[in-house]
Chains A and B, each alone.
Chain A
C-alpha cells in the first residue's frame, strides 16, 4: 500500500463523479495518504484462510410471498424532481450534438 498520488486522486474523483480542482486534489492526496498509511497496519495480520465477513447475521435468501401490492403513486414520486415535463424527469443533453 502506497501513498496516493495527485493523479490517483483525480482518477478516483472521476470514478466517483466528483468534480475536483488541482488544489483539492493535492489536499485530498495528503489526507487520503494519511488514512491509507494508517490502514497499512492491517498487513501485520495474517488472514490466510480467514473468510471475509460481509454481514454479521446468518441471513440467506430472505423471501416473502409474491403478492401484488400498491406502490407509490407517480405524482408523489415526482414531487421532489426539480425539472420535469409531462410526468418525465428532464435532464440536460446526454450526448453532444
Chain B
C-alpha cells in the first residue's frame, strides 16, 4: 500500500511518530512516478535533486514549527511558473523556458513547507477537455488507460488518482480542474474568482482563470486552498477578503441546509449512468438533513457559446506575447515579420491556433458587437441567474460532466463535441462563483463527479457539504488498479 493512501493528518502523525520521514515521502513520490508514469503520462519536468535535498533539510525542522501540509509532496500544473524548473504549458513555443521567479501560489506552497516534486501535464495553454492537446504527450486515465483523464488539468487529476502524489495544483478557466477531477474520481476545487492570486499563472483568459487544489479528500483540499489563498499586490484582481480556516468549517452537519438542483443540469445530454449517481447523491444530502428544491438557471444553454467567444478573445490577446523574441522557441527567419509568423505557426498546436483565430475574429471591427459584446451581455444574464438562486439557497448541486471519461482519440476531429463536455462547468466561471467536484459513484467502472456550487467566497459552505457527503459515503476511498503496482 502506498503512503499516499493516507490523509495529510495521518501522514503528519506518521512523521511525528518517526515511522516515516519527509525524505521517505518525497522518495515515495519519485518511486511511484517512475513505476507508473510511463503509462499515466502525468509528469513533465521532475524536480528530483532539489526536492530530495529540500526534504532532507526539512526533516530537521522541529515538529512544533510545522503546519498541516509541511513536508508533503505536490505536483504543479505546467502553466504555473516555477523558478529554475522548466515551465512549458505543454507547448512547443515555450520549449526550454526556465522561469526567473516563482508564481505567488508556488511561494505560498514553499511557505507551507510543501515539496514540489515536478510539473504536471496539461492541454497546451490549458485549452482542451481531454489532455489530448498536450504537445508533449497525452495523459491516460488511471481508471482505464484507454480513456482520457479530462482536461485541461488532466495531469493534475491523473497524478492524484494514480497515487503518484497526494496533492496537485491545477487551473480552471471553464472546468479545467473540476472536469478532470470528475473523470479521475478525485476532489477538485475552482475557487471564487479573485480568491487565489494569478501572478505567475500563464494567462489563458484573465477574467476567468483561477488556480485551485486537487486532492484525494475534501479536508486536504480545504487545507491546500487555505494555503494558496489571499490578496496579492502583484495581482490587482486578487480579492482583499479574509481567508477563513476552511477545515474548521467541516462539521459534518448539513441539517437545514438549502440545496438547489437546476433542472437544466439534469436535462438531455446527461447520460443515464451519470444522472442515476447524481440523483443518488442528492438523495444522500436529503438523508443528511438538507432540503432540496428544483430551480432554474434559464440561461445555462447559452453559457457554452458565450464562454468560447470570451475565453478565446482574451486568449488571442494574452497569447500575443509568445513571439519568439524573449523566451521559448524561435523559428529561423530572414526578417522580423516572418520570425513572428513562423515561430507562432510552428510553436502553437491546432487547438491553440483555432482559439487565437476565433478570438481575433470575435474582436475584429465589424464582428465585435455581434460576438464579443453580445457574449459579455449574455455573461451578465448568466451571472444574474446565479445571483437569483443564491438569494434563497446555500448551494447548487448537479453533475460535473454530462458523461464519464470518453476514449482517447474518440473526439479528435471534432472540436465542438469536446467543447460540449464543458456545458455544466463553464457557467460557473462566467459567473465567477466557486465550485467543487467530488467523487459520487461509478458508471461502468469509471468515476462520476458531483458538482457543488457556492456563492461568492462561500468555499467554506461548499467544503462543509462535500465533507458531510464524503463522511457518509466511501467513494473517495476507492482507488484504481494502479495503486497495487509497486
Say whether, besides A17-B323, A39-B309, A51 and B354 are in contact (CB < 8 Å): no
Q: How far is the CA of A93 from the CA of B326 in the complex (A)?
A: 16
| Nearest residue, chain B, Cβ from A80 | B327
Contact B236 A18 (CB under 8 A): no
Contact B357 A12 (CB under 8 A): yes
A68 in the interface (beta carbon within 8 A): no
Q: How far is the CA of A31 from the CA of B419 in the complex (A)?
A: 12
A42 is contacted by which of B333, B340, B378 (Cβ under 8 Å)?
A: B378
Q: How far is the CA of A2 from the CA of B339 in the complex (A)?
A: 32
Say whether, besides A45-B378, A53-B383, A15 and B360 are in contact (CB < 8 Å): yes
| Nearest residue, chain A, Cβ from B193 | A56
Say whether, besides A39-B309, A47-B378, A92-B339, A79 and B98 are in contact (CB < 8 Å): yes
Contact B383 A32 (CB under 8 A): no
Say whether, besides A18-B353, A47-B374, A57 and B327 are in contact (CB < 8 Å): no
Segment of B18-26, B255-263, B298-306 in the binding face: B298-306
Q: Which residues of A have CB within 8 Å of B239?
A: 57, 59
B119 in the interface (beta carbon within 8 A): no
Q: How far is the CB of B159 from chain A (nearest CB, A)?
A: 27
B348 in the interface (beta carbon within 8 A): yes
**Among residues 68 to 97 in chain A, which have CB atoms less than 8 Å away from a CB atom of chain B?**
72, 76-77, 79-83, 89, 91-94, 96
Contact B416 A18 (CB under 8 A): no
Say whether, besides A15-B364, A92-B339, A55 and B207 are in contact (CB < 8 Å): yes
A93 is contacted by which of B302, B323, B330, B335 (Cβ under 8 Å)?
A: B335
Q: How far is the CA of A71 from the CA of B105 in the complex (A)?
A: 20
Contact A13 B381 (CB under 8 A): no
Q: Which residues of B contact A (CB under 8 A)?
A: 96-98, 100-101, 193-194, 207, 233, 236-237, 239, 299, 301-302, 304-306, 308-309, 316, 320, 323-328, 330, 333-336, 338-342, 344-345, 348, 353-354, 356-358, 360-361, 364, 370-371, 373-381, 383, 415-416, 419, 430-432
List 9 additional contacts besides A18-B353, A80-B100, A92-B334; criterion CB under 8 Å.
A12-B364, A13-B353, A16-B356, A38-B416, A47-B374, A50-B381, A57-B193, A80-B97, A91-B336
29 contacts between A and B (CB under 8 A): A12-B360, A13-B353, A15-B360, A16-B357, A17-B340, A18-B344, A19-B338, A31-B415, A32-B354, A32-B357, A36-B361, A41-B305, A42-B378, A47-B377, A50-B377, A52-B380, A53-B376, A53-B380, A56-B193, A57-B432, A79-B98, A80-B96, A80-B97, A80-B326, A80-B328, A81-B325, A82-B330, A89-B325, A92-B336
